[in-house]
Amino acid sequence: GIAVTVFAIVLTIGLVGLQRYVARRTGSLAISADSMHYGSDLLLNIGVIIGLVLSGYYGIAIADPLIALLIAGWIGWSAIRIFRYALDQIMDRELPEEDRETLRDIALSHSEVHAIHDVRSRLSGITPFIQLHVEMDPNLPLHRAHEIADEVEEEVKAAFPGAEVIIHQDPVGFEKDPAFPD
């Protein structure tokens, strides 16, 4: 029994490694979930060996149910992680705060961008959608303001591959007319 289990462990390690690689490259939640499923099988197989050794060779009968509880806990925790990640994708959740900080840092690193506001982001499936307003010198020629926005956009796209980015240019200190709210 142990030899067959060791063989299954070796095959499962290869499969889990391949699935995790593909999931990272594609962003596929289904492949990631399947990888967690096979990871559970991997833990189960390792648990079987440990349980057989501890109960069969050392007479520790409680080892098998304890290992089963640990594996069940890990499976439950993995299911909750997958559920939360899938729910975030379905609900178009905002990007995490650290990603929003990265957006701010990128935009404000450009010497001609004085401030940013109205930063909006969401993740739909594996595609980030990012919108922000950059404030620039009101005396900049329109052509130059557009070039700056394009430069910031390219830097954002480099930091967030596959992102859909919209950048609106405003003059520094621009305030919306209260008669025309969004």
The string of DSSP letters for the chain reads -HHHHHHHHHHHHHHHHHHHHHHHHH--HHHHHHHHHHHHHHHHHHHHHHHHIIIIIT--TTHHHHHHHHHHHHHHHHHHHHHHHHHHHHTTPPPPHHHHHHHHHHHHTSTT--EEEEEEEEEETTEEEEEEEEEE-TTS-HHHHHHHHHHHHHHHHHHSTT-EEEEEEEETT----TTS--
CA distance 69 to 96: 33
Q: How far is CA 164 from CA 60, 83, 151, in A?
A: 58, 25, 15
Q: In what order do the strands lie in the sheet with 164-171?
A: 115-124, 127-136, 164-171
CA distance 79 to 73: 10
Residue 150, amino acid: D
Question: Taking a C-beta distance cutoff of 8 angstroms, is the pair 43, 71 a contact?
Answer: yes
CA distance 174 to 152: 19
pLDDT in the model for residue 106: 97
pLDDT in the model for residue 82: 87
Question: Taking a C-beta distance cutoff of 8 angstroms, is the pair 33, 17 a contact?
Answer: no
Q: Digits of tens for pLDDT over the chain (182 positions)?
A: 678 878 888 999 999 999 999 988 887 888 988 998 898 888 888 888 898 889 888 999 899 899 989 989 988 998 998 898 888 778 878 888 999 999 999 999 999 999 999 999 998 877 899 999 999 999 999 999 999 999 999 999 999 999 999 999 999 977 665 655 65
